Amino acid sequence: MAEAFPATSMPDRDWWAALWPDPRAVLEALGILPGMTVLDLCCGDGYFTAPLAELVAGKVYALDLDEAMIEMAKAEVARQGASVRKWIRADARDIAAHLTEKVDYVLMANTFHGVPDQPGLAGAVHSVLVPGGLFAIINWEARPREETTVLGRPRGPKTEMRMAPAEVTAIVETRGFKSQAVIELPPYHYGIVFQTL
């Protein structure tokens, strides 16, 4: 059944933009290259989707469960003069049913912490990747929430929902992936890039 993951609502743009002043640099740090076909899984309001679409010249699939997020993301992509191959309003767990081709890269930013069946989600991602394809997870660091302040207030998921990189790696590696790199994304995030075996 399509259902939003707990604790994954889209942050307000004011503090999100303050926290991530250069989203394209984040995408590049995660090894996303021009020429790749990329799925932005749980794209939200398009904060990363728009620079991603620009980086890979429109070879982007963008999925979110929330129609309002898709509409905001569409507007953001258009505002930045970019384009997306296909917008998908669906549950992330059902991605395989909505893609007509396999992709080189799946990005899941700021959402994995709330997924109830994380191994199952990793398996669903694996099924839409080409052999040797990449899966990147951006997560909040496993620090007390009161320490991760932006614009003067604590932000991000509850402390008890946060995951250390080793915990994420142990889960995702049960579904046919191998961790390739853990990348610090200061001030409060890390990214892990996995490759299919």
> Can residue 48 be called a binding residue for ligand SAM (CB under 6 A)?
yes
Q: Which of 19, 32, 39, 47 binds ligand SAM (CB under 6 A)?
A: 47
> Can residue 111 be called a binding residue for ligand SAM (CB under 6 A)?
yes
132 neighbors 197 (Cβ within 8 angstroms): no
Cβ closer to ligand SAM: 131 or 161? 161
Crossing angle between the packed helical segments 165-172 and 118-126, to the nearest 10 degrees: 60
> Can residue 91 be called a binding residue for ligand SAM (CB under 6 A)?
yes
CA 67 to chain centre: 17
Cβ closer to ligand SAM: 110 or 169? 110
Query: Across-strand partners of 71?
Result: none
Q: Which of 36, 62, 109, 128 binds ligand SAM (CB under 6 A)?
A: 109
First-to-final CA distance of the chain: 30
- The residue written with tokens 């853990």 in the block is 182
Contacting residues toward ligand SAM, per CB under 6 A? 4-5, 8, 10, 42-44, 47-48, 64-66, 69, 91-92, 109-111
